[in-house]
A and B are shown apart, each in its own frame.
Chain A
Amino acid sequence: KAGVTQTPRYLIKTRGQQVTLSCSPISGHRSVSWYQQTPGQGLQFLFEYFSETQRNKGNFPGRFSGRQFSNSRSEMNVSTLELGDSALYLCASSSARESEAFFGQGTRLTVV
């Protein structure tokens, strides 16, 4: 059974640009969550989707957005990139709310 797949693995963008990250969950998992990980702030929750609906949202500016498709694949978008957006972005999928979340390898975004 394939794990959570995130693409791309690495990304370098310039300030002001926008970026889209993709996440394919484990087959059968309908819940997808996104996290931002930085050395200073640790793992911070961005948003959670279940069956194409956003279930929870973290405390991030509106430049961060996401969506989930009918096949449970999810994308997150960051517009008007800032240097501080440089981070490891992790996606996780789970079969149910109370179940363990399985993480992808992450997308390392560097904003220059």
Chain B
Amino acid sequence: AQKVTQAQTEISVVEKEDVTLDCVYETRDTTYYLFWYKQPPSGELVFLIRRNSFDEQNEISGRYSWNFQKSTSSFNFTITASQVVDSAVYFCALRGSEKLVFGKGTKLTVNP
């Protein structure tokens, strides 16, 4: 069975702080894909990144960076110099041989 755990339910930071959202996954598949999505108050899930299980290279995109570590089954997401517009619910997701499975999400609030 596949499972995604986002232990942080809610995080509140002040603008310009760095914040890391944790994601731990479980799967028996050797080939799998990991994703991060952002859900702003409008409700639509916005795709942020996809990573396959054979590519452990970290990725940086502007203020966003992702750290994938197979040894700890983690795929953490860091926002550098957070902004108020980053306030949203962030979901980590996993797809192996079965359906796409989501974590419960982490609600990030960035205060001015």
As a 0/1 sequence over residues 49 to 89 of chain A, the CB contacts with chain B under 8 angstroms (1 = contact) are 00000001010000000000000000000000000000010
B35 surroundings in chain A (CB, below 8 A): 100-101
Within the complex, the shortest CB–CB distance from B39 to chain A, in Å, comes to 9
Count how many pairs of residues, one from A and one from B, have CB atoms less than 8 Å apart in the complex. 45
* B75 is an interface residue with CB less than 8 A from chain A: no
- Shortest C-beta distance, B107 to chain A (Å), equals 11
A3 CB, nearest partner CB in chain B, Å: 9
A-binding segment of B12-20, B64-72, B77-85, B94-102: B94-102
- The reply to whether the CB of B8 lies closer than 8 angstroms to some CB of chain A is no
For A9, the closest partner residue in chain B by CB is B43
Q: Classify chain B's interface size.
A: 20 to 34
Bound: A99/B91 CA distance, A: 16
Pick the most buried of A43, A56, A102, A104: most chain B CB atoms within 10 A of its CB.
A43
- The answer to whether B33 and A102 have CB atoms under 8 Å apart is no
**CB within 8 Å of A: which B12-37 residues:** 33, 35, 37
A window 88-112: CB within 8 A of B: 88, 90, 92, 97-106, 108
Give 25 A-B contacts (CB < 8 Å), ordered by A residue.
A33-B99, A33-B100, A35-B102, A42-B103, A43-B91, A43-B102, A43-B105, A45-B101, A56-B98, A58-B99, A92-B100, A97-B95, A98-B95, A100-B35, A100-B50, A101-B35, A101-B47, A101-B100, A103-B46, A103-B47, A105-B42, A105-B43, A105-B44, A106-B43, A106-B44
